[in-house]
Amino acid sequence: MSHHALTIHQVQEKLRSREVSAVELAQSVLARIQATDERLHSYLTVCAEEALAQAEAADRTLANGPPPPLCGIPVALKDVILARGVRSTAGSKILEGFVPPYDATVTQRLKEAGAVIIGKVNCDEFAMGSSNENSAFFPCRNPWDTGRVPGGSSGGSAAAVAADQACAALGTDTGGSIRLPAAFCGIVGLKPTYGRVSRFGVVAYASSLDQVGPCTKDVWDCALLLEVIAGYDPHDSTSVNTPIPHYTTHLERGVSGLRIGLPQEYFIEGMQPEVETAVRAAIAHLQGLGAEIVPTSLPHTEYAVATYYIIAMAEASSNLARYDGVRYGYRAAEVKDLGELYQTTRAQGFGSEVKRRIALGTYVLSAGYYDAYYLKAQKVRTLIRQDFLNAFEACDMIATPVAPTTAFRLGEKLADPLTMYLSDILTIAVNLAGLPGLSLPCGFDQHGLPIGLQLIGRPFEEAVLLRAGYAYEQDHDWRSRKPPL
Amino acid sequence: MRITRDEVQQVAALARLSFTGEELDELTQHFDTILTYVDKLGELQTDRVEPTAHAVAVSAPLRDDVVTNTSSAAQTDALLANAPSRKTRFFRVPKIIE
């Protein structure tokens, strides 16, 4: 098998035995990008030169051993995650020309772990979208069918990993933006607990919901990547100072005795039948391995999408006020005064979905509407979170589909924003409640499109999700099927 | 309609955004669809429910009042390098005061 097609743990062995050099691995991945990206558009920036220099350094470390955990492993970053000296766009024209003078904490942790930053991958503008079609540059395509979307907003992260254009990637997840693309592209994606991973140096969308997480080829790789990026950071006051478990060493403990809750509200009418069948089969498999299946209920599920969009848009309108054309990024030419500079820069620099969310967010926060919309949504958020806490009294994790359907076609949901928002119907409540959620492949539909299983855990119990995902994965070889590229 | 075109235009001005007439028509339509959808929250009785700002309790952390980042000319230059327009060591903007 070509080097670029291997998982991190497979290629790690070859690097450490010096069967493969880090430079050869980086070259293999770069060649793969070269050969496939014209069709996929996963990448916004490929860091060929820097990556090869980092790979050479990794080879020197490997020769002198013992190497750090990701030594020589090519990892891609969603373009909202800053890397020093590398153009960062967040998928937007308004950051034109912006080259960050510092690394995000997660980037720094990857580098300290020896990773090779191979490039910056495509996403919806400011991570706002469910299909990657809101990228200001070009939409990323689904490797399984290039007429379909990879999911969003971390579409480039998921497509790159699925197409072997990177060994792994980081994405961000505000309402499903890691888990949905992971499901649509047939890879593993994890949204960690709110506070588990630092967001310092990550372009903010909705700060009470955003989390950074891994996109990987299998569950073991996901556990390793989380181990590297997790932990307290004094630069992000929402990061939590609790011990980080050795996720990789707990993987083989199995699921015996684990209680898995099945919420009736997540198996909804209108769901693609093959999705329901595959997800129920995966749950039955976990039962066969010794897990106990318990019915459960999350009664406020139907209010999650409305709650999410009010809160996310409100926070976005505040976060995106900083893009004013003064200190960095795009600035409109030929303006009369400062007011016009702000307005014209923002009108020209932002795409239509971003402007829509800023405008709606401004509206729900404005005098006279604050209580009716924003405060109301924050109260319903309490009810949604309480649903999960109640459910977790009788179960250790919750299993659901990631999305009601497999990947949809480009353009299919563009005309109506509300239809697009409903793509996240099964992932959004997890962000509102701040919980960890794992998305992993559990089959294919009749068109050969991947289906995703979602496992939701108690706060800071990522280890339990990874354990269950690992147990399932040992008995299913979905990964041996490769996209037809 | 939940909202008029004029109201949407006012909101746009508050957010330092501007729209063409056609964009404004479309946005007013989208506002209406989305606001109608989120009205669904009104079905729930929430008078005695506390709001949640963060799902995980966070408080502002305290630290000793000492300088942790010393600025240097090189750092200032690195930041100014991203400025769309600058003059010496300042960001440059259109004249504010006549």
Catalytic pick among A42, A78, A239, A317:
A78
Task: Say whether B33 sits in a helix, a strand or coil.
Answer: helix
The beta-carbon neighbor of A343 closest among B17, B30, B78 is B17
Rounded CA separation A282/A269 (Å) = 20
Backbone φ and ψ of A186, nearest 5°:
75, 40
pTM: 0.97
Residue B31 and residue A360: Cβ atoms within 8 Å? yes
- Region A334-359: mean pLDDT is 96
Q: Is A78 a catalytic residue?
A: yes
Q: Is the pLDDT of residue A287 over 70?
A: yes
Does the pLDDT at position A186 exceed 70? yes
Q: So what's the pLDDT on residue A1?
A: 67
Instruction: Please list every residue in chain A whose beta carbon sits closer than 8 Å to the beta carbon of residue B46.
Output: 376, 379-380, 383
In B, which residues are within 8 Å of A197 by CB distance?
Answer: none
pLDDT digits 0-9 by tens, A70-126: 999 999 999 999 999 999 999 999 999 999 999 999 999 999 999 999 999 999 999
Give B-chain residues touching A376 at CB under 8 angstroms. 41-42, 46
Residues B21-46 have pLDDT tens digits of 999 999 999 999 999 999 999 999 99
If DSSP codes are grouped into helix, strand and coil, which group holds residue B24?
Answer: helix
Order of strands across the sheet with A450-457? A43-46, A116-121, A74-78, A168-173, A211-216, A188-191, A437-444, A450-457, A397-401, A259-263, A292-296
With both helix axes pointing from N to C terminus, report the angle between A105-112 and A219-229 in degrees, rounded to the nearest 10: 110
Residues of A in contact with B44 (CB under 8 A): 300, 303, 380, 383
Digit-coded pLDDT (tens) for A304-345: 999 999 999 999 999 999 999 999 999 999 899 999 999 999
> Residue A183 pLDDT > 90, yes or no?
yes
The Cα of B28 is separated from the nearest Cα of chain A by a number of Å equal to: 10
Percent of residues, chain A, with pLDDT higher than 90: 95
- B98 has pLDDT over 90: no
Predicted local distance difference test score (pLDDT) of residue A59? 97
| pLDDT (tens digit per residue) in A242-263 | 999 999 998 999 999 999 999 9
Nearest to A98 among B58, B78, B82 (CB): B82
Annotated catalytic residue A135:
no
